[in-house]
Structure 1
């Protein structure tokens, strides 16, 4: 498995160098999963749902070194890198080769081997290729170059993966609270939340998630979280202003 050294000095396993560099910038440099006062209190238990190669888990391990981290990733290549990265950098953490959903079972995953972080149950090759093309043009590539790169990164295949639920993971690890639930699952966010049984909502203190706002999903998710006692903030990156992608930071009063 190819290795790379991050700017912070850590050597990590990766699938694609460009994707790893992008994730490092987004998570370690821009600190996309943290905000002033969020999460609160300091997390002791973190669930990383849609972990990919584990960049978020490694960031959480660096930022909250005493936290117990559970990570879930369904695709085989990112999961292999995730497992190696936990061995190197996430002391005492646990990885699961599984997708999170509203029930336990098996489901078909749309998988981009050259853009693994964009894989998901709702993979839309045309729209995801077009978004990548537009972003690459904005970053300085010519339209022809952007088209070629976007198409090469979005060769779509399919794999069957096992699914489980957040509540099943809570039971498996016998944790009585989840201080930070991070979700990045490429359009299946509502299904992950639907896999939280009602008694377990009281165990969850902070949620950070990327949400794709199709079929009014942003409103649905915000309503669900607010009904369960969370205060929510929504943000959208400037370069994604023409997309349906937002971030939600949800916390309960201490």
Structure 2
């Protein structure tokens, strides 16, 4: 963890408050940690589910460097310097002076010097041979509005559990797009540690 940053607060939430210690009926095989920050949730998931493959996705380069260091002791972790989006695209961090746990992204041209590749969840699954996501953690600072705006018909019915924080105070319309998408499927919704926890009752 880095002194003088929000890393200590993230550690407190993940390991002391155990905000990702929600109940599951079976251990996941595939976990996607989107908005992985420095990888503390990834480490928590690997300790809780040591057999799981964890794809840890983080857009900020400084966070990603620490994420890679924190994840390297755990086999079956795949850090990705990227971000989830509704389609494969190019993004950039739009608020570089924000706290390390609150970066937002926006679309840009590939030629932008700060651009990086963003990936849709469908592409993530197809390119890695993932047939189903057992646990999808989304803490992506408003980008959930775009992820759930379109192109979810492939991956959403193939996702068993979603834990998500909605950020309407950062980007208007996050909740609207999220609920508009999931209403087409049979998810049981509850609240856990201030986040929404969803179980797909059509998946065993």
TM-score relative to the length of structure 1: 0.69
Shift >6 Å, 4+ stretches: none
* Number of the residue aligned with 1:4: none
Q: 2:175 aligns with which of 208, 218, 229?
A: 218
**Which has more radius of gyration?**
1
Cα distance in 1 for partners of 2:54, 2:151 equals 18
Give the conservation status (yes or no) of the 8 Å contact 1:16–1:115.
Answer: no
What SS class does the counterpart of residue 23 from structure 1 fall into? helix
Deviations 1:154-198 (A, max 9, x none): xxxx94332111111111110111100001111111212346541
CA gap of 1:159–1:117, structure 2 versus 1, over 3 A, is farther
1:25 and 2:9 correspond = no
Between structures 1 and 2, the one with greater helix share? 1
* Number of the residue aligned with 2:100: 116
How far did residue 219 of structure 1 move? 4.2
Unaligned runs of 5+ in 2: 107-112
What SS class does the counterpart of residue 211 from structure 1 fall into? coil
* Number of the residue aligned with 1:61: 46
Deviations 1:200-233 (A, max 9, x none): 2222000001101353432441342232211112
Cα distance in 1 for partners of 2:151, 2:32 equals 13
How far did residue 112 of structure 1 move? 3.7
How far did residue 19 of structure 1 move? 1.5
CA gap of 1:195–1:223, structure 2 versus 1, over 3 A, is closer
Cα distance in 1 for partners of 2:46, 2:193 equals 25
What RMSD in Å do the two structures reach over aligned CA positions? 2.3
What SS class does the counterpart of residue 70 from structure 1 fall into? strand
Give the conservation status (yes or no) of the 8 Å contact 1:110–1:159.
Answer: no
CA gap of 1:93–1:235, structure 2 versus 1, over 3 A, is closer
Unaligned runs of 5+ in 1: 1-13, 123-157, 238-246
CA gap of 1:16–1:73, structure 2 versus 1, over 3 A, is farther
Give the conservation status (yes or no) of the 8 Å contact 1:166–1:195.
Answer: no
